[in-house]
């Protein structure tokens, strides 16, 4: 099994080392295995989880909900709760996307109006 140092994990995930520690401390990321020397050793599975956590964070999921999701992922019997949490977040993202698309349309209309003034 391939493992990564905190620096390698930070570089691969795009999270800072401080954020990785914070996510572990807050239960967003499960406790990370340690080497014999006591250093964190991240796996591909943790990198995959970090990739998804980045997606959730970039789509506006608050830290409180990230914490809940992370803790749910640490138990195998919580799949229904994870689905519910992700469905709720997906609905939020859809609403936000609709709002941005409406704003984009309004911007396009204003640009068209200004361009019409030049003719």
Q: Residue 1 — very low, low, confident or very high, per pLDDT cuts 50/70/90? A: confident
pLDDT (0 to 100) of residue 61:
96
As given in the structure block, the two tokens for residue 65 are 């909900």
Residues 92-104, mean pLDDT to the nearest whole number? 98
Phi, psi (deg, nearest 5) at residue 104: -60, -40
Does the pLDDT value for residue 4 go beyond 90? yes
Residues 49-53, mean pLDDT to the nearest whole number? 95
Q: Residue 11 — very low, low, confident or very high, per pLDDT cuts 50/70/90? A: very high
């Amino acid at each position: 099994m391939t493992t990564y140092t905190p620096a390698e994990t930070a570089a691969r995930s795009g999270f800072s080392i401080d954020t990785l520690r914070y996510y572990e401390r807050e239960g967003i990321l499960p406790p990370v295995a340690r080497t014999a020397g006591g250093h964190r050793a991240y796996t591909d599975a943790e990198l995959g989880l970090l990739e998804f956590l980045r997606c959730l964070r970039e789509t506006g999921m608050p830290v409180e909900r990230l914490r809940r999701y992370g803790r749910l992922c640490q138990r195998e019997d919580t799949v229904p709760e994870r689905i519910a949490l992700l469905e709720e977040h997906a609905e939020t993202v859809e609403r936000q996307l609709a709002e941005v698309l409406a704003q984009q349309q309004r911007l396009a209309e204003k640009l068209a109006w200004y361009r019409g003034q030049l003719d």
